[in-house]
Chains A and B, each alone.
Chain A
Amino acid sequence: QVQLQESGPGLVKPSQTLSLTCSVSGGSVSSGGYYWSWIRQHPGKGLEWIGYISYRGSTYYNPSLNSRGTISQETSKNQFSLRLSSMTAADTAVYYCARRFPVAGYFDYWGQGILVTVSS
């Protein structure tokens, strides 16, 4: 059974960079054709896809982030990470990591989510 677990700070100051990590168990971030994504949900709102990193390390980001996002992977720890720069109150959200099914774009496994609040 694949499991994902987000970790990182729950509070970030405006203008700072957010760093989140997703630890994966029951599957490998560097094989199997899977793509590993970050998705966020603003309080009381819908879901916004942030971007992905593939099992081979290629990345794609939602242009709405205006090049503020970076997703990387650490295969030795079976983790992948999100860095989001120049944080503002508008980035306050629950951040989820999720696995994208191979050769398709739906998300079959999700982490439990982590609430990140941007406030001074």
Chain B
Amino acid sequence: DIQMTQSPSTLSASVGDRVTITCRASQSISSWLAWYQQKQGKAPKLLINKASTLESGVPSRFSGSGSGTEFTLTISSLQPDDFATYYCQQYKAYSYTFGQGTKLEIK
């Protein structure tokens, strides 16, 4: 399986901050990467597919970049609604695998 590693595991930030979450794959996955947001007690919500394509309805303060083995999710100006856990997921190969998650906390 392709291993996905996110960093940091926890990120403390304030409203208005610019934050970046990193996701690394154990082998090249081209751009076959998705990002999800999960709030406590809820299902994950798809934010970005193919590394940088924003899903319809997702605020433009979210952006994704990268290819190969290193990817980033950036939130340009944190809003109160953004405090959640974020997961990356590779879909280059079966079995699909997720990162361990990055919990974004209010500082």
Given contacts A108-B46, A108-B55, A112-B43, contact A46 B96 (CB under 8 A): no
Residues of A within 8 A of B49 (CB): 101, 104, 106
Nearest residue in A to B99 (C-beta to C-beta)?
Answer: A46
CA distance A45 to B95 in the complex (A): 18
Q: How many chain A residues have a CB neighbour from B under 8 Å?
A: 21
Q: How many chain B residues have a CB neighbour from A under 8 Å?
A: 24
CA distance A104 to B31 in the complex (A): 11
Establish whether residues B101 and A46, one from each chain, have CB atoms under 8 Å apart when the complex forms: yes
Q: Does A47 contact B (CB under 8 A)?
A: yes
Establish whether residues B34 and A46, one from each chain, have CB atoms under 8 Å apart when the complex forms: no
CA distance A105 to B97 in the complex (A): 10
> Which of A46, A62, A112 interacts with B42 by CB under 8 Å?
A112
Query: What is the minimal beta-carbon distance from A43 to any residue of chain B, in angstroms?
Result: 12
CA distance A111 to B43 in the complex (A): 7
Establish whether residues A48 and B98, one from each chain, have CB atoms under 8 Å apart when the complex forms: yes
Residues of B within 8 A of A66 (CB): none
Query: What is the minimal beta-carbon distance from A53 to any residue of chain B, in angstroms?
Result: 14
> Which of B36, B55, B91 interacts with A104 by CB under 8 Å?
B91
Residues of B within 8 A of A63 (CB): 95
List residues of A whose CB falls within 8 A of some B CB: 45-49, 60, 62-64, 96, 98, 101, 104-108, 110-113
The 7 closest A-B pairs by CB, nearest first: A105-B91, A106-B34, A110-B43, A47-B98, A49-B96, A62-B95, A46-B100
Q: Would you mind naming 11 contact pairs between A and B with Cβ atoms under 8 Å apart?
A: A45-B100, A47-B44, A49-B96, A49-B97, A62-B95, A64-B95, A104-B32, A104-B91, A107-B34, A107-B46, A112-B43
